[in-house]
Amino acid sequence: MTVFKFHRALTVRVNDLNYGNHVGHQNFFSYFQEARVAYLSQFGYSELDLGGCGMILAEAGCKYKQALFLNDKVRVACAVSELKAKRFTMAYQIERDESVCAEGFTINLGFDYQTNRVVRLPEAFIGRIKAFEGL
């Protein structure tokens, strides 16, 4: 089971709502991304710069447990749960009060945006994330 050491607080905005008057299911992935970007920036990284290459998504998934509504204050928990030479998996959880509203993951590949190729993740990146997560 993933232990989350990083959280990002968000408040649901009007613009996140869909025609069903709750947060559209695709916006859960935007919330994950918001947390992912904040997580990476702890280490001075961004999606486009992991210290030598960028990243690109290979896969994403989400299990929806509870709907989210306007002005809900949520915490998006985020962790790297697995780390290989060319890819890392991130796990996410959206929490409101004490309950989990959604769980998700993304598989992220090291990517060189100049050559458009999947590449090895930088050693420094791997080292820092492993140290932070205790992997």
Under the rule (CB under 8 A), what is the footprint of a second copy?
13-15, 17-21, 24-27, 29-30, 33-34, 37, 41, 47-48, 56-64, 67, 70-71, 106, 113
**Token pair of 32 as six digits:** 């994950």
Q: Which is nearer to a second copy, 2 or 106 (CB)?
A: 106
Q: Cβ of residue 25: shortest distance to a second copy, in angstroms?
A: 5
Q: Cβ of residue 29: shortest distance to a second copy, in angstroms?
A: 4
Residue in the structure block whose two tokens are 């990476």: 40
Q: Which is nearer to a second copy, 19 or 98 (CB)?
A: 19
Q: Which is nearer to a second copy, 62 or 77 (CB)?
A: 62
Q: Look at residues 67, 77, 63, 66 and name the one whose alpha carbon lies nearest to residue 10.
A: 77
Dihedral sign, Cα of residue 108, residue 79, residue 52, residue 27 = positive
| 3-class secondary-structure state, position 133 | helix
Q: Cβ of residue 19: shortest distance to a second copy, in angstroms?
A: 4
Residues in contact with 44: Cβ distance below 8 Å, sequence separation at least 6, in sequence order: 51
